[in-house]
Amino acid sequence: MSPNRTPRRPDVTDVDIIGGPERLELQLHEYDERWPVIFRQHRERIRGALGQAALGVEHIGSTAVPGLAAKPIVDIVVSVDDITAEEDYLAPLLEAGYLLRVREPRHRLVRTAARDVHVHVYEHDDPAVEEYLLLRDRLRSHAADRALYEETKRALLERRWDDMNDYAEAKTEVIAGIRARARAASRETGSAATPSPR
């Protein structure tokens, strides 16, 4: 940490959902070629707002996987040096037009007013960042796991969900299996999840 930097302060200790509960609408859309274009537009917007404070800006989630049906929400993960130093990233993101939705330990979520782009902010060494990239890259490169994931989402969406967290939790076992296969393949080849140029 630079001697000119604000001293690290205690982080958030609880989950704060700004705006309270929202009506849950889950619907899969066929893959849309516009999703990576939207990501690139927002990557430039984020980098313009944060400058060097954005250590990484990656397209994650199902919209980052060509051919995969998804909810029409482009998810982006931004890596920063210090999640507690909100003045370095949160204020600039809000000034750039994003709205704060979630503040929780190790994670902040801002989104567009249209709710079609979600920006997840983590510290650069948070394991969650690698987990996102591991899943994304495995789904991009392995058709069987991509098909399994889509089938799982379609089956789950036949049920009623009042809470997005419950829907996400229901996918956990399948996602864990996909990540385990990705790690096993990585060990065999000596490679690891790497950021994509997208």
> pLDDT tens digits for 34-91?
999 999 999 999 999 999 999 999 999 999 999 999 999 999 999 999 999 999 999 9
CA Rg value for the chain? 17
Given a cut of 90, whether residue 29 has pLDDT beyond it is yes
Which pTM was predicted? 0.86
Domain ranges of the chain: 16-189
Q: Are 72 and 63 in contact (CB under 8 A)?
A: yes
Produce one character per residue of 55-77: b if its CB has 16 or more CB atoms within 10 Å, e if not: eebbbbbbbbbeebbbbbbbbbb
**Whether domain 16-189 has CATH 3.30.460.10:** yes
What pLDDT was estimated at residue 195? 55
> Alpha-carbon distance 96 to 68, whole Å?
30
Confidence band, pLDDT 50/70/90 cuts, at residue 6? very low
Position 20 scores a pLDDT of: 67
